[in-house]
Amino acid sequence: MADSAGGPGAMAQPRVLLTKEPAPQTVPASDLPMKVYEVGLNTGTDSSSGLATAGFRTAKYLPAEWHLHNSELYHKAFASCEQAEHGRAEAKELAEYAAAAAQRAQQDSMAAVSQRLQDIHFWKAELQREIQDLDAETRLLAAQKLRLERALDATEVPYAIATDNLQCRQRRQAPDLVSDEVERELLKEAELIRNIQELLKRTLMQASNQMRLNRDHKEFCEMDWSDKVETYNIDDKCGKYSNQSTNIQFHPSSVKFEESASTPETWAKFSHDNIYRAEREKLASINLRALIDNILHDTSEDMRKQCAAVNEAFAKHCEELDDTKHKLEHHLKKILKEIGYQEANIAALKQAIKDKEAPMKVAQTRLYDRSFRPNLDLCRDEAQFRLIREVEELTESINSLKKKLLESEQALRNLEDTRMNLEKEIAVKTNSIFIDRQKCMAQRTRYPVVVKLAGYQ
């Protein structure tokens, strides 16, 4: 008890080893006062007088004095023996009581030290369990943090694909350069990925802060546990001391309370508070891990759903482009065939006009020659009228044919323009199909799978 209460100051006292028995203490000698005896006068029957015996008589005791002196010695010896016997009995009783009290005190101290060892062991075990739990929880949170980092890295590929698709589709030619469903879904995908990246970055920062808190509270518990281990070893060593131990010695200065010493209540509260704070951070870490798991699951699912929506929009748009292209090609075939027919028609009209030249020459030549008929033979006969009507009919036919030729040539030019427009539109559709299918959809095959987006790879 004295050793434990002494504290560090008591342990710093130098130890003195006794190699020989100490010299007995002596009381310094002092001069005792001399007893003064009064000599009685020589009176009575036994007295003698005379100068001859005066010198001898004065140095001797009387018999009564001698007996009285012996009686006093006897009485003093008896009183001393009786007092010594009584003192011995009291000393024996006191020694037995002191021995019993010392044994009881030592047993009580031993029991107190043993109880203290149990208390220390309890808190030491609780702290050790909490340290192990915090360490395991920090490792689990580190694994979740690694998943977050992998998931964040995995979002770079989808974002690059979405932005590249948008840039590629900017190279579409008019009139296919429209804000269609595919572009809206791509813009939605890019925005979704940016939001997911921001969320993952914030969650990563939160996980890092929680890991730091876990390590800090683990360090607090480890320091407390280290103190408990050292204290347990000290008290365990104190509990093994006995009266026969060879490594015990006096430490008078240890019998005091240190000013900085704690009370059992504050001592237990300190460890309880450390464990409570560690438990609180452990629970926060568990909740954060669950939140991270939900975030990674939801974000990966959202990205895959949006990817499927974009792919579906691409597929639908490509089908529309294919259908439009096929219809344009069908109309182009009809236009080309019609152009052939129209060219043949124009050639036939030209030939028909040319074919009217000979009859016109014949009729006009006849009229010209008949104009040279002499005198009254220059008659407006039926033949004259018929030839005139023939020329008029031929002229009207030629004019009609020329008009139709002009209309046919204009129709041919319109057909040629339509052919050019159809060919240009087919080229535009071909370019759009190439961009959407060969560029964008082919690139989207590199989209990460859900396992990678969830941070498992």
Tell me the helices (H) and strands (E) count for the chain, helix number first: 10, 0
Cβ neighbours of residue 422 under 8 Å, at least 6 residues apart?
Answer: 328, 331, 332, 335
Query: In the chain, helix, strand, coil percent, each to 5?
Result: 80, 0, 20
pLDDT averaged over consecutive 10-residue blocks of the chain (457 residues)?
Answer: 38 37 42 45 46 53 87 91 90 89 88 90 93 94 93 92 92 87 93 95 95 94 93 89 83 77 88 93 95 93 93 93 93 94 93 91 90 87 90 93 93 94 93 91 88 82
Asked if 287 and 237 touch (Cβ cutoff 8 Å), the reply is no
Nearest-CA neighbor of 126 among 263, 231, 261, 273? Answer: 273
Q: Give CA angle at 40 (34, 45), nearest 5°.
A: 155
Cβ neighbours of residue 170 under 8 Å, at least 6 residues apart?
Answer: 177
d(CA 60, CA 66): 10
Task: Read off the pLDDT of residues 11-70 as tens digits, 9 standing for 90 and up.
Answer: 333 333 333 444 444 444 444 444 444 444 444 444 444 444 445 555 577 888 888 988
d(CA 116, CA 113): 5
d(CA 404, CA 339): 16
d(CA 454, CA 434): 32
Tokens of 322: 């294919």
Half-sphere exposure of 419 (CA within 13 A, CB side): 14
d(CA 138, CA 130): 12
Task: Read off the pLDDT of residues 191-223 as tens digits, 9 standing for 90 and up.
Answer: 999 999 999 999 999 999 999 999 999 999 999
* Whether residue 448 has a cis bond before it, omega within 30° of 0: no
How is 369-416 classified by DSSP, letter by letter? Answer: HHTT--GGG----HHHHHHHHHHHHHHHHHHHHHHHHHHHHHHHHHHH
- What single-letter amino acid sits at 180? D
Domain spans of the chain, in order of start: 334-445
Nearest-CA neighbor of 423 among 322, 317, 331? Answer: 331
How is 31-99 classified by DSSP, letter by letter? Answer: PPPPPPPPPPPS-STT---SSSSHHHHTT---HHHHHHHHHHHHHHHHHHHHHHHHHHHHHHHHHHHHH
Asked if 397 and 373 touch (Cβ cutoff 8 Å), the reply is no
d(CA 193, CA 405): 64
Q: CB 70: neighbour CB atoms within 10 A? A: 10
